[in-house]
Structure 1
Amino acid sequence: MIQSVQRAVQVLRLLAAEGSRLGVTELSERLGVAKPTVHAMLRTLEAEGLVVQDRESSKYGLGPGLLHLGNAYLDGHELRARSMTWADALATRANEAVWVGVLTGDHVLVVHHAFRPEGAVQILEVGASIPWNTSALGKAMVAFGPEAEEKRLLEGRLAVLTGRSVTSPDRLAEQLEEARQSGYAIEDQESAIGDASIAAPVFDRSGQVAGAIGVVGPVERLLAEDRRAELAVAVRETARNLSRDLGAGRGYPRRVG
């Protein structure tokens, strides 16, 4: 790896994680890098629009150039492009919001969000990052992904967002096996109290997991006995159709590797 590039990425990640501006000294201490080196990196990133400096505090924050890069990533993302029609159809069929996500490290990145057709004001969640273990999307992808990846994630840090977040590796392993048997995963108030989700994996032409699609909404609607099975069928069927659109075979794939 090129160390200077790696450090520049670490600067951007620190600024993103902090959620507020940081100064040269703070970044230097957190990175363990000399202040002149950090300052030089920041000036380069600023020239490219990836960070901006507050003139009053002299501290740095993320710049608008990252938004352009993020939009370019979404615009060129095949899963997102092909999921739009299927996600809208699922939202209409289920009368619930629909998310499409991909796994990035130990988090799920929401790449598409179809609003619930009949509902109050809703917030667009495209770009949201959710710990894999608190998301039905994440569980669906890990359950059908490589065994080595599942092992790594179960042995890693398991996030806690609510009192219902599952942090037991053994219990999570059981949930992943249940997802493999049923073809879908469930999240019950593990990301936000009162909310639940049902998701199924999406596969590409090579049979690998490309992402996941699922419905999201109030727990009393999604996991009610009279609706859960119906929604699970709708989600699985949509995931299969989207997988076919990506070139996957007709059969419901099992995990690869």
Structure 2
Amino acid sequence: MTDATLSTVRNAARLLKAFLSREESIGVSELARRLDLGKSNVHRLLSTLVAEGLVEQDPRTGGYRLGIVMFELGEAVKVHLDLHAAAGPVLAHLREQTGESSQIGVLDGDEVVYVDRLESAHSLRLFTETGRRVPAHCTSSGKVLLAHGTEPDREAFLARPLTRLTTHTIVEPGALRDELATVRARGWAEAINEREIGVASIAAPIRDIHGDVVAAISIGAPVARFGAVPRRRFARALAEAGEAVSRRLGWNPEMATRGREA
């Protein structure tokens, strides 16, 4: 980025922060005064922010206020903060139960981002730092999130080229579609040697108050000690952990069942 670009970004951020005063709307002249910028500069910034939905103009006063996109961004931040608070104790208990690395992942585009993680106490363990991004199609968390997303989003994902990271990575759209159907029916996902040879993981969904799957909780370990038997044994504990976090987020599975029966 050039210095001029960085200055523009900084001024746009300062302009958005001006609305923290929570006034109903603020005019161009007042914004220019508060930011110590020229009115023409402020007007250009506002035009760009309006086009992106971050700011809107009040048709009654002619002033400006935060747009709906800023509300949506705030809700996204709130979800992550709530998720961290809800998942923490459950994640610790899951690691204690299984002895393996436990993490929370969310979907961002075509990737899973790990937003919370507790490392295994084993000397041989995985090292996946919080904040790391991984392709969704070859991870258990990604499979859970794709499986429970909307069908249009899922089909759009399957229409894009999928990267083969190992000989076990599922890259054929039909095969991955079948795999995701299995995940929905079974209630949990697994990925064995798909992103990296020697690594296995299983994941289960986390739902919000509306029943939408907003994250995945998973455990991962070297394949050498995480074979089929321990994976099946831990799958139940993992599903229960996902439900526990979901309940802490306000989800009520009993109400969801009644809604389907009605």
TM-score norm. by structure 2 comes to 0.67
2:207 pairs with one of 203, 207, 232:
203
Partner of residue 57, structure 2: none
Percent of aligned pairs with the same residue?
29
Deviation at 1:100, TM superposition (A): 0.4
What SS is found at the alignment partner of 2:95?
helix
Deviation at 1:99, TM superposition (A): 1.2
* Equivalent pair of 1:240/1:252 in contact (CA under 8 Å): no
2:5 pairs with one of 41, 47, 52:
41
Deviation at 1:217, TM superposition (A): 0.8
**Are 2:148 and 1:148 equivalent residues in the alignment?**
no
Partner of residue 243, structure 1: 246
Q: Which moved more, 1:169-178 or 1:150-159?
A: 150-159
Deviation at 1:250, TM superposition (A): 2.1
Where does structure 2 lack aligned partners over 5 or more consecutive residues? 14-76, 258-262
Larger Cα-atom Rg: 2
* CA RMSD across the alignment: 2.9
* Equivalent pair of 1:99/1:113 in contact (CA under 8 Å): yes
Deviation at 1:167, TM superposition (A): 0.7
Partners of 2:156 and 2:238 lie apart in 1 by: 27
With over 3 angstroms needed to count, the CA separation of the structure-2 counterparts of 1:192 and 1:121, relative to structure 1, is closer
What SS is found at the alignment partner of 2:253?
coil
Q: Which moved more, 1:158-167 or 1:181-190?
A: 158-167
* Equivalent pair of 2:101/2:125 in contact (CA under 8 Å): no
Q: How does 1:1-257 map to 2 (within 5 A)?
A: 40-45=4-9, 77-120=81-124, 123=127, 125-222=129-226, 224-251=227-254
With over 3 angstroms needed to count, the CA separation of the structure-2 counterparts of 1:199 and 1:75, relative to structure 1, is closer
Where does structure 1 lack aligned partners over 5 or more consecutive residues? 1-23, 25-37, 50-72
Deviation at 1:252, TM superposition (A): 10
Deviation at 1:165, TM superposition (A): 1.6
Deviation at 1:74, TM superposition (A): 9.5
Q: How many residues align?
A: 196
What SS is found at the alignment partner of 1:207?
coil
With over 3 angstroms needed to count, the CA separation of the structure-2 counterparts of 1:121 and 1:48, relative to structure 1, is farther
Partners of 1:189 and 1:253 lie apart in 2 by: 35
Deviations 1:120-170 (A, max 9, x none): 576451000011101100101111121111111111232332232211111
* Equivalent pair of 1:135/1:190 in contact (CA under 8 Å): yes
With over 3 angstroms needed to count, the CA separation of the structure-2 counterparts of 1:107 and 1:252, relative to structure 1, is farther
Partners of 1:184 and 1:252 lie apart in 2 by: 21
Deviations 1:60-118 (A, max 9, x none): xxxxxxxxxxxxx6996211221111111111101100110100111101000111133
Q: Which moved more, 1:152-161 or 1:165-174?
A: 152-161
Amino acid at match of 1:168: E
